[in-house]
Amino acid sequence: MTFEVKPTAELKTSNDLEVLDVQRHVPVNLRQSGDNGSRMLISQRVRKSPFWHLSQEAGCWCYEIYNHMYHPRAYVPLEEGGLLQEYKYLTEDVTLWNVAVERQIQVKGPDAAKLVDLAITRSVDKLKVGKARYVILCNEEGGILNDPVLLRPAEDEFWFSLSDTDIALWLQALNLKSAFDCTVREIDVAPVQIQGPKATALMADLFGEQIHEVPYYGLLEGEVNGCPVIVSRTGFSGEAGYEIYLYDASVNAERLWYHLLDVGKAHNIKVIAPGHIRRIEAGILSHGQDMDPETNPYQVGLGWQVDLNKSRFVGKEALARIKSEGVTSKLAGLKLGGKQIDWYPADFYIVYAENEAKPVGYVTSAFYSPTQGCNIGYAMLPESLSAIGTQLEVQLPEPYAGGRVPAEVTETPFKPPEFPGTGLTQTGRKL
């Protein structure tokens, strides 16, 4: 791929981009407004997680709002390598992530399984006690409301480990309307993630050899430094990894965190932010970026999540229609030129067909990939331009280009995950 930059006028208005959002009620904000150095107010109106102060101690210097909580997004200073250095820690050793923003919504009671089955697009019967599953919840139009990990610690109990939307309110409304015999509430359980090639060795130090018996998306009940926890063999990195769900997290946060750092010294543990470079490589999508309530599973490679043989779930009729009619826009993997994208994009970068003036799509996620040796990402494109090998152009801001760079639709995942899941094994590619 060549890296010639074609200067263009930076877009300041979305008037020319309306065609990209013809299927949406609320358009994506495609104004290229950048970041002028604005800072975030830390106040009592936004919740701090039980690990907030511990992330500060570990050097976190950048946060964003996620599930109405402060979410760590960078620890290593830019002058010391920034997010690319965090990627190095993640792919070579083992890392600790504060992911308490994955708020835990408990559904519990005799009818818990009925409510969960109504809310998710997969069959709840396939989720046995002691297991977890990646699931999606859709609205009545087939839009993706959330893509949590769903845990089943007991026959009558489920936990939704959320991505970034208010699913507790949605589940409470479904429960009220259907008059199920169960409760829906957030619980004082907060997860951390242990991710990287040395993750299993560290977890063996914590839990013994039984950790090797936990299957992908399996659960294990145990204790860390006297604190009760549930462990799932899951993660957001594509590397070997686990999540440790801490009970009574408001009280036990320090006991867990410091013990993990102490035991992890032998494995060169580092505290980092969730590894978005690696998750893009692995074909893992981020709700709010790559999908939202106005995108459906068939647009973003999640059609395998939809079981139309189920008798009933929210969105079934719409999803059956969408599958039958097909979609006009799809998410696709891209390799693109320009200088290394080493920070979170402040805008959805605009995509053009080669040598054309009219925009055709937008980039939802992008970073420089050390394994690919170029910038990679995902873009929402017309279905007709989503075929592998399609040549496109992407408008990148300074300091990455200040103009258009060449891009090519590419097969995903860019770097296969350590443990390929159902979507990858069934379809061969995520998108």
CA–CA distance, 104 with 160 (Å, rounded to integer): 6
Residues annotated within a binding site: 243
Q: Are 144 and 138 in contact (CB under 8 A)?
A: yes
As a whole number of Å, the CA-based R_g of the chain is 21
Q: What ranges in 22-76 are assigned the alpha helix state H?
A: 52-57
> How many C-alpha atoms does 293 have within 13 Å on its Cβ side?
11
Q: What φ, ψ does residue 225 adopt, rounded to 5°?
A: 55, 40
Show Cβ contacts of residue 280 under 8 Å, excluding neighbours closer than 6 positions.
365, 366, 367, 369, 376, 377, 378, 414
Question: Which contiguous run of DSSP H or E holds residue 279?
Answer: helix 276-281
- Binding site for substrate, by residue number, is 243
| Residue 408: C-alpha distances to residues 285, 298, 337, 378, 411 (Å) | 19, 21, 9, 11, 10
Q: CA 87 to CA 273: how far, in whole Å? A: 9
Q: Measuring CA to CA, how many Å separate 182 from each of 133, 172, 200?
A: 21, 10, 36
Other Cβ atoms less than 10 A from the Cβ of 63: the count is 20
Tell me the pairing of strands 269-271 and 94-98: parallel
Instruction: Let me know if 234 is exposed, middle or buried by CB neighbors in 10 A (0-12, 13-18, 19+).
Output: buried
Closest CA to 286 of 274, 298, 303, 268: 274
